[in-house]
Amino acid sequence: MTERLDGTVALVTGASSGIGHATARALAGQGATVALVARRKDRLAALAAAIEQDGGHALAIEADITDRDQAQGAVETTVSKLGRLDTVVNNAGVMLLGPAESAPIEEWERMVALNVNGLLYVSHAALPHLLKAAEGEPRQVTDLVNISSIAGRVARASVGVYNLTKFGVTAFTEALRQEVGTRHVRISVVEPGAVATELITHVRQEVLMELAKRMGQMEVLQPEDIADAVAYIVTRPRRVAVNEMLVRPTNQEM
Ligand SMILES: NC(=O)c1ccc[n+]([C@@H]2O[C@H](COP(=O)([O-])OP(=O)(O)OC[C@H]3O[C@@H](n4cnc5c(N)ncnc54)[C@H](OP(=O)(O)O)[C@@H]3O)[C@@H](O)[C@H]2O)c1
């Protein structure tokens, strides 16, 4: 049932590490030419080289997507240099945890700026291109996949603003799905549980200790596990839309 992505173009935000890095490789492995978007250009260049070495095609685009012009520019550069846009993975995100009372307000602003605004800027710029590509060959269907989180479904103390951004991503996904699904643009949300990435390294030290207690002996997911979920969604036949996928480590309770 898997349909390869040959002849299509994908854009992955946050491709310089973790889930985005693994997803870009997975989509390239399915035949897509992949635009790699993030701020750390050296990482993107290394990934592009690795993809090319494997016989794929990739374009590194340095952009801070919390800046509207840069987010729109990343989409426009993709289309002008690669000719089209069929798949968007809104993956870039930041998770800054801790009790609301003692939280630096800048942490809340960073999460809203990236997890909400960045995702919206990229989605808004990409939609016309996704709608256009869905009208023609090779697949007559296109995909926008939003990476939310288990935190987009379950609220917990010390996670409030991250919860707010990810619940929002899940809601936006469903509303947009209703708007464009009839024109064969599939809008999906993936909600990972704990994954071994750099995400946690941005959390303040005192909060990290509390978090470690919650994690206990959990065997966390690898970025490739989530890349696999994204690849599954976007390689379905035209008639099949996997709207939502929640992927937890087997022994994660909440
Ligand atoms: N890891 C988990 O347990 C987990 C669980 C559920 C959901 N998620 C979600 O998965 C997504 C990916 O996170 P990850 O775990 O793979 O973490 P990660 O390794 O920290 O990756 C985050 C990515 O976002 C990029 N990024 C950060 N700020 C950016 C900006 N202003 N503009 C463009 N790109 C930016 C980073 O690249 P640069 O720094 O180079 O810009 C990096 O590539 C996030 O949305 C996260 O909320 C993760």
- The answer to whether the CB of 98 falls within 8 A of the CB of 158 is yes
Q: What is the per-residue pLDDT across 25-40, written as a single tens digit (0 to 9) for each?
A: 999 999 999 999 999 9
Q: Is the pLDDT confidence value at 1 over 90?
A: no
Which residues are annotated as catalytic?
162
Q: Per residue in 165-181, pLDDT tens?
A: 999 999 999 999 999 99
What is this structure's pTM? Answer: 0.98
Instruction: Kindly tell me the sign of the dihedral angle through the C-alpha atoms of 117, 119, 122, 124.
Output: negative
Phi and psi angles of residue 10, each rounded to the nearest 5 degrees, phi first: -120, 150
31 CA to centre of own chain: 19
- Cα of 198 from ligand 1 centre, angstroms: 8
Query: Residue 171: enclosing H or E segment and its boundaries?
Result: helix 160-180
234 vs 34: CA distance, rounded Å: 14
Lining residues, ligand 1, CB within 6 Å:
13-14, 16-20, 38-40, 43, 64-66, 91-95, 114, 118, 147, 149, 192, 194-195, 197-199
Query: What gap in Å lies between CA 196 and CA 213, rounded to an integer?
Result: 16
